[in-house]
């Protein structure tokens, strides 16, 4: 693991260990992040996993749009 990855993981651990959080939404978020701690930085140790899902999401949007066009009933006007 690189030094940058180790620093990031240490900072994440410090943030997740905070005990005194007043806002309910922040407490909920922290609880979720603590549960998913192992999955948060998976991309740092696995070269085949991209850090974002932009590429995947983009492909899904194109696929969904093409299906919508294929499934649109012929002769009906689409709203624009």
How sure is the predictor about 24, in pLDDT bands with cuts at 50, 70 and 90?
Answer: very high
Query: For 77, which DSSP code?
Result: P
Contact 51, 43 (CB under 8 A): yes
Return the pLDDT at 78: 60
* pLDDT tens-digit readout, 25-56: 988 988 998 998 888 877 777 777 776 777 77
* Helical segments of 17-78, H only: 24-35, 37-40, 42-45, 54-71
- The pTM (predicted TM-score) of the whole model is 0.51
């Amino acid at each position: 693991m690189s030094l940058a990855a180790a620093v990031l993981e240490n900072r994440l651990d410090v943030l997740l260990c905070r005990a005194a959080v007043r806002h309910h939404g922040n407490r909920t978020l922290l609880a979720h992040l603590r549960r998913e701690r192992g999955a948060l930085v998976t991309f740092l140790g696995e070269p085949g996993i991209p850090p974002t899902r932009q590429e995947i999401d983009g492909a899904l949007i194109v696929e969904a749009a093409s299906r919508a066009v294929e499934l649109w009933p012929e002769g009906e006007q689409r709203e624009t």
